[in-house]
Every structure is written in structure tokens, then in C-alpha cells.
Amino acid sequence: MNVARLAQENIGRFGEYVSIVYEDKEYTNVQIELDGRRFGSALKSIGVERGDRIIIQLPNSPEVLCAFQAIFKIGAVVVPINFLVGHDELVHIYRDSGTTTVITSVEFLDKVVAARAEAPNLKNVILVDGTAPDMLSYADMVASGVDKLETLETDDDEMAALIYTAGTTGKPKGVMLTHKALYANAHNQYNTVNPGPDAINITALPLSHSYGIALMNGTLLNGNKTVLLRWFNLEKYFEAMQKYKTVATTAVPTMYIYMLLYPDADKYDISSMKFWAYGSAPMSNDHIKQMQQKFGGFIVEGWGLTEAGGNNSLNTLAGFNKMGSIGTPMSGVEMKIFDEDGKELTQGEIGEIVIRGDMLMKGYWNMPEQTAEVLRDGWLYTGDVGYVDEEGYFYITDRKKDMLIKGGENIFPREVENVLMDHASVSEAAVIGIPDDKYGENIKAFVVLKPNQKTSDEELIAHCKDKLGSFKAPKTVQFMDVLPKNVMGKILKKELRRLD
């Protein structure tokens, strides 16, 4: 089953309709699928073959979706990457993936050319805008492509996407997602959340990520429209919600915090918005309540891993959700809590969250040992620590690798972070372990304050002592203008450890 057939099935079910609105221009499902066929045939004409890895290094645009379709159709492998990635990481991905072709923009050409000098396999650079010597033009390729490209029939376990995850330490790992996994993930979404074709979605999250593939495939099944922003801009976000009467969005907590702080939000009519979904990082109870009061609708937390397609659990869109919970498993996803010995724990007991289902990755690219560590007996060991309650709702207490041990006692940074973010002056917080002569490890907090707010490290430490007791209170607090994050809004604690 080639996952590209979802686009053909979509046209058969819904006919032609506007599926994407980008910079006030409308694109139909038929147009995107047709451009995908033309671009796919053009890729074959320059020597791209089945199994070749093709990097997409672009900000959000309809061309990203067309490229996904083209690459899937010819049996090549989509490698979506963050266009802001640094030189060393870029070279690593180019070389590790063995890519022959990069699709990018003139905006990032200097970075691509610099990395290309250290990636001998890279032959083709395709520009979606502008021209440059020795570079190919996306527009010219689509114009010269053949309409009647046949979608290649692929095996279920054949790789469709190779997605690099930054992780907490070391170099990025390539997650191998098969056609079967992407197809299953799309149907898991559809069978869990089917808002119908009239529910207009808006997004500014990066498409060059597992999120982008999941969004595309999910909307192909739903038949609904997406208003796509090039990247996150508060004014454009609110303008688009008002203009297109959008119903739902998915974002990361930082984006919602910026919305809460935006002084001109009240001048926009966004009463059409019903669902504000978020994931990738926790959101404080205070911020959730503020979002509910200011913008209305339902604030819905979900959770997922690139290793399992990107979205695996969700609080129900019917309006019942538990604050602080990542919800219940999506249809087609099985979730449990295991102890260190792989034994299932009972309700309320803290252990590692494990999941299984057809959406799981094939493994890590060229990393058999790391694959064996996380894929065991059909289960994916996620590295997230948490518990399940009596109603089957899951909660994350922290990342297993982020847990610190102070004086022999396990301390979960998220517990301390939540208390810090409950302070009236604090916008964001992150906690790491630091060496300590007495306890082995102690607690250090990094804090971002709300605009025009002031506090001291002594006040924040006292606040934590009052809520958590002295033992779990930070030893030191460092104030930051911003916390380092990846493209999906996850705080990069490895960068914070380097600062210490």
C-alpha cells in the first residue's frame, strides 16, 4: 500500500474542493495531487529512484505538500528537516541519509551550498523560488512533468519517510516510517477525531516534520480545508482566524502564551474557534485557564512521538478532558505503563509509557543497537515516565532521561517546573540537574519572566519551598530572555546543560 493513494482516494470521495489557503491564494486537492504527479515524473527524469532519500528543507508552503505527494508516488523517501538547523547538524543529516537531492529555497541556499561541500552524495538542488547557477527550478520541473504518473505499488514495510529527531543528547537519529505506519497513523487520527469537511483548520507549525505528514494525510481523510501560514506570526494568525472563520488549530504552548500576551487580540473576532489543541511540551494549568477565559472553546492536550507517527493520544474533542492529562490512546494505539523489568504496572503507579500499533517506526536508520533498546516485543519504549488513572487517562510526569537523583531520591523536573510556572511573574521554566558535593545532584531552574514582571531567585526558591518543601526546591535560579527550543517548541535541555 503506497500512502500516496490517500490523495487519490480523497478526490474520489470528495471531488474537487479548496484544501489549502496560503497567503490568500486557494489550492484545490486536485491541483496539489496533479502537481505531485508532475513533480514526481520530473524527479524520475533527473535520476531519482525508488528508495532514494529526498530532503525537503523549506518553510511552510503548498510546495511542501506537493513534494510529499511526488516522493511517495515514485517510491522514494521523504526526509523533512528544519530549515533553521545549524551547519554541523545539517551536514550530519545530509551524509547520514545519503541524500542525492535537496528541495529548498533561495533563502537558505548559502546553508545548503556550504553543507553540500561536505556531502559528496548530494547531486541535485531544487529551488522552489528564484534561480541560481547549477540549480534546478521546481516550477520548471512541474511544468515539464508528465500528468499520467502511475503511483508505484510499495510494500507495507517499505520506508516512506526518514525523519530526524534531535533527542536530548548526541546527534539526530533518523526515524524510519513505513507506508503502512503512515497509512495507519492517518486512519488512527480519522477514527479518533473526524471534524468533518466543514471544520476549517489553521496552522503555523512546521510541515517539514512528522506533523506535516500527519496533517496532510489526516486532512485527506477528513476532506477539510487548512489555512496555512508560512510561519508563526501573531497578527497574521489572528487575521486569518477572523477572515476564514477557522474552527481548530494545533500549536505548542509557547505560541499560546504569546497569544495571551498579545495586546491587540481583542480587536479580532475569532468566535468561530472551538478547539485549541497542543502538544510537544506541557502547559501550565494557569495558562490553560487563561486561554479558556480569553478565547473560549476547548483547550485540548495531546501527545505523540515521531517514532510512532507523531500523534498517539488525545483528550476528546467532545469537550471532556482532564487538565494535565495527555488523554486516552487514539484508535489503533495501545498504551501501557511498564516498570524497569517490562512488567505492566497498575493504575496510579509511575513507570515508562509504552505503546504499540501499526503506526510504529521500523527503527532508527543505521542504528540497530538504539533500535533494539526502544523496540522490544512489539512495544515502543517511549522514554516518557508517567501513570494511567482509573478512567484510562494517561499523565506524563517527565522524560526518563531528564529525571535527576538528589540524595538517592528521584526528582522529576516537570513537578518543579509546574510550581515555578504557577508563580504570577513566571512565563516559562525549565529544570535540570547539576553536580552537587553533598547530594550528588541538585536542582537548577532556568526561568523566563512575563513582560514587565520582576522577581528574584530568592522569591522563586521560597515559592517552591512553600509548595514542594525544601528538598525539591531549586538550589539556584538563572533568568533567561528565552529558553532554547526546537522547531516544535520542545525545550532543549541539552543546550541548558551546556550553559551551566
| pLDDT tens track for 205-253 | 999 889 999 999 999 999 999 999 999 999 999 999 999 999 999 998 8
**Nearest partner of 288 among 259, 327, 316, judged by Cα:** 259
Given a cut of 90, whether residue 494 has pLDDT beyond it is no
My answer on whether 273 and 361 are in the same domain is: yes
> Which of 491, 427, 482, 487 is CA-nearest to residue 231?
487
Across the beta sheet with 226-228, the strand order is 25-28, 18-22, 226-228, 201-203, 248-251, 275-278, 298-303, 313-314, 328-329
In a domain, 194, yes or no: no
The domain boundary residue, chosen from 399, 421, 441 = 399
Which of 154, 169, 185 finishes a domain? 185
> In 3D, which of 419, 418, 440, 444 has the Cα closest to residue 431?
444
Q: Per-residue confidence at 102, pLDDT binned at 50, 70, 90?
A: very high
371 compared with 490, residue with greater pLDDT: 371
Residue 32 pLDDT exceeds 90: yes
Q: What is the pLDDT of residue 406?
A: 86
**Same-domain pairing of 139 and 275:** no
- Would you place residue 317 in the very low, low, confident or very high pLDDT band (cuts 50, 70, 90)? low
Predicted confidence at residue 318, as pLDDT, reads 58
The number of folded domains in the chain is 3
Domain that holds residue 438: 406-499
Lowest mean pLDDT among 62-66, 72-76, 241-245, 488-492: 488-492
Indicate the residue among 399, 425, 457 that finishes a domain: 399
The chain-wide mean pLDDT, for the chain, equals 92
What pLDDT, in 10s, does the model give residues 34-48? 999 999 999 999 999
Distance of CA 121 to the CA centre of its chain: 28
Q: Is the pLDDT of residue 319 over 70?
A: no
CATH of the domain at 348: 3.40.50.12780
SS3 annotation, 253-298: HHHHHHHHHCCCHHHCCCCCCCEEEECCCCCCHHHHHHHHHHHCCE
Q: 343-372: per-residue pLDDT in tens? A: 999 999 999 999 999 999 999 999 999 999
Same domain, residue pair 270 and 369? yes
